[in-house]
Amino acid sequence: MRYNRQIILPEVGEKGQEKLSHAKVLIIGAGGLGAAILPYLAAAGIGEIGIIDDDSIEISNLQRQVIYKSDAIGKSKALEAKEMALSLNPSIQVNAITDTLNAKNAIPLFEYYDVMVDATDNLHTKYLINDACVVTNKPFVYGSIYKFQGQVSVFNYQNGPTYRCLFPDESSNSKNCVDSGVMGISVGIIGMFQANEVLKMVLEIGNVLSGELLIYNMLNNDQQKFDLVRTNAIALNRLDFEKKYNVVENTVLEITANEALEQMENPDVLFLDVRNEEELPKISLPNTIQIPLSELEENLDQLDSNKTILVYCQSGIRSKKAAEILKKHQFLKVQSIAGGALKLQGIIATNAVSVS
Amino acid sequence: MLKLKYFGAVAEKIKVQEENIPFSNSSLQELVDALEQKYDLSSLSYSIAVNQKIVQDTNNYMLISNDVVALLPPFAGG
């Protein structure tokens, strides 16, 4: 009886309901989009739903994350979301995962679930979802908001285009809701579009929004679709994935100037000065090479990736960027020297460290 | 004539969502470079569509009159 109104649709029927009950869907993020998507998938009878988020509920969430009650402030979003979904439909299974999605848990999770729904609020995680979906060959239901506009698409569906085919530039810094503001209704509308794509995929009805980007404008109801094609088919395998993410995420990027100077006689350590040539003070350490940050990417062949590379600039900001660039290019042992040349110079001067 | 459509942060920066400009015989990349300079868009990242199709190879795409060019930045909110 619970599903009668949808089962009487010929496009769904008993068979479709059976498909829904066997589907496993992972919702990544229990914020505004997640709060819109989850109740509808649960109510429709998706057999198993995972919801992953490590956040707890804050009062400023409640204007758009409408599944949470005021007395739940401070509690775990994933756990509260699970409780809400189960009280709505106790016949399904809901798995709450109180963690952030990261390179370590993404692959096993994505192998388990059939469809991944992006309900995140940052670009970094969207690329992670995309790449993990490519590795595990699973579809990625994308949804995102900028103020009164929303984007929706389904990536990596039956060999269709991926997020990287649409936005290859990973370095862009688009604002999230905290930075730019959002109405609850906007995330609700976009979340509904996403939930609808999930149901169409599971039921195998209609046309899935693959190879198309939908942009919806809440202020004038303008709705546009843009076609995209799969480009430079990013055949990412599991090893590439682990290299790309684990390295970047897990290693500490900084080392203190003192610790760095202790390494100065170590033949396996290379000091990299990313300042411009004219910058002072000059630090003369053995095993030093100078490549200005702006020229670093073109001159990577000058560096030995087997060595530990300790990067410094004037104060420790450019060197962090340099360390990130190096990590991206598979230099595994890279650290940025906190405080940079100014700090190094100070220690050398006061301790009279012998510089050969 | 060319019709230009802007979305998200790009529209916000340019302060309009649409505009028409006179057609000049240029590649898509030349148009984008000119817009980038005119509106100081270099800090923004976006994809480009012509007539509702995303174009990757903007250098080798020659525009024709009445093309509709859209600048589509990624959104991040949720």
Q: What is the largest CA-CA distance in chain A?
A: 85
C-alpha A283: how far from chain center: 38
Kindly identify which residue of chain A lies nearest to residue B53, measuring between CA atoms.
A227
Residue A217 CB partners (closer than 8 Å, separation 6+): A148, A149, A223
Strands B2-6 and A334-337 come out as unpaired
Structure token pair of residue A224: 């546009």
Is there a contact between B26 and B35 (Cβ–Cβ < 8 Å)?
A: no
Which DSSP symbol is given to A329? T
> By the CB < 8 Å criterion, does B42 face chain A?
no
Q: Which pLDDT score is estimated for A172?
A: 63
Low-confidence ranges of chain B (pLDDT < 50): none
Angstroms from B74 CA to nearest CA on chain A: 7
Domain assignment of residue B77, yes or no? no
Q: Residue B12 sits in a domain of what CATH number?
A: 3.10.20.30
- Report d(CA A127, CA A103) in Å as an integer: 11
pLDDT at A109 (0 to 100) = 97
A301 secondary structure, DSSP code: G
The phi-psi region of residue A352 (left if phi > 0; otherwise alpha if psi is between -120 and 50; otherwise beta) is: left
Q: Can you name the residues that pair with A117 across neighbouring β-strands?
A: A27, A141
Q: Checking DSSP bridges between strand A308-312 and strand A269-273, what pairing results, if any?
A: parallel
B44 contact A CB<8A: yes
Q: pLDDT digits over A1-38, tens only?
A: 999 999 999 999 999 999 999 999 999 999 999 999 99
Cβ-Cβ contacts under 8 Å, A149 against chain B:
7-8, 75
Q: Is B76 within 8 Å of A171 when comparing Cβ atoms?
A: no
> What are A207's two structure tokens?
């046309």
CB neighbour class for A223 (10 Å; exposed up to 12, middle 13-18, buried from 19): exposed
Its pTM surpasses 0.95: no
pLDDT attached to residue A356: 43
Q: Do B76 and A121 touch (CB under 8 A)?
A: yes
With CB atoms and an 8 Å threshold, state whether B76 touches A175.
yes
Question: Which residues, in sequence order, are CB contacts of A303 under 8 Å at separation 6+?
Answer: A270, A272, A289, A291, A309, A326, A331
Determine, yes or no, domain membership for B28. Answer: yes
Range of the domain at B18: 2-72
Check residue A184 and give its pLDDT.
Answer: 96
Contact yes or no for A214/A153 (Cβ under 8 A): yes
DSSP for A93-107 reads: EEEEE-S---HHHHH
- Residue B49 domain-assigned (yes or no): yes
C-alpha–C-alpha distance, residues B6 and B16, integer Å: 7
CB contact under 8 A, A167 and B45: yes
Q: Which of A173, A226, A229 sits opposite B52 (nearest CB)?
A: A226
Residues of A in Cβ contact (< 8 Å) with B70: 224, 226
In a domain, B78, yes or no: no
One digit per residue, pLDDT tens: chain A, 356 residues?
Answer: 999 999 999 999 999 999 999 999 999 999 999 999 999 999 999 999 999 999 999 999 999 999 999 999 999 999 999 999 999 999 999 999 999 999 989 999 999 999 999 999 999 999 999 999 999 999 999 999 999 999 999 999 999 999 999 998 877 666 565 678 999 999 999 999 999 999 999 999 999 999 999 999 999 999 999 999 998 656 788 888 888 887 555 555 788 999 899 888 888 899 999 999 899 998 888 889 999 999 998 899 899 888 889 999 998 889 988 988 887 777 878 889 999 999 999 888 887 655 44
Contact B78 A176 (CB under 8 A): yes
Residue A332, pLDDT score: 76
Answer for the pair B3, B18: CB distance below 8 angstroms, yes or no: yes
The complex scores an ipTM of 0.96
Which one of A31, A33, A174 has the shortest CB-CB distance to B73?
Answer: A174
The pLDDT > 70 percentage for chain A reads 94
Residues of chain B neighbouring A143 (CB-CB closer than 8 A): 78
Window 220-249 of A: residues touching B by CB (8 A cutoff) are 224-229, 231
- Give the full edge-to-edge strand order of the sheet including A334-337: A254-255, A334-337, A308-312, A269-273, A288-290
User: Does the distance separating the beta carbons of B49 and A174 come in below 8 Å?
Assistant: no
pLDDT tens-digit map of A274-290: 999 899 998 888 889 99
The 10s digit of each residue's pLDDT in A124-164 is: 999 999 999 999 999 999 999 999 999 999 999 999 999 99
Nearest by CB to A226, from B8, B72, B74: name it: B72
Domains in chain A, CATH or no CATH each: 4-227 (3.40.50.720), 251-351 (3.40.250.10)
> Residue A179 has what pLDDT?
72
CA dihedral A288→A293→A295→A301, nearest 10 degrees, is 50
Nearest to A155 by CA among A213, A80, A82: A213
Task: Tell me the chain A residues in contact with residue B44 when contact means C-beta distances shorter than 8 Å.
Answer: 172
Query: Burial letters for A34-55: b for 16+ Cβ neighbours within 10 Å, e otherwise?
Result: bbbbbbbbbbbbbbbbbbbbeb
Any B CB within 8 A of A260 CB:
no
Q: Report how many domains make up chain B.
A: 1
β-bridge partners, A97: A52
How many CB pairs (< 8 A) connect A and B? 96
Q: Is A53's Cβ below 8 Å from some Cβ in B?
A: no
**What is the DSSP annotation of A191-214?**
HHHHHHHHHHHHHT-S---BTEEE
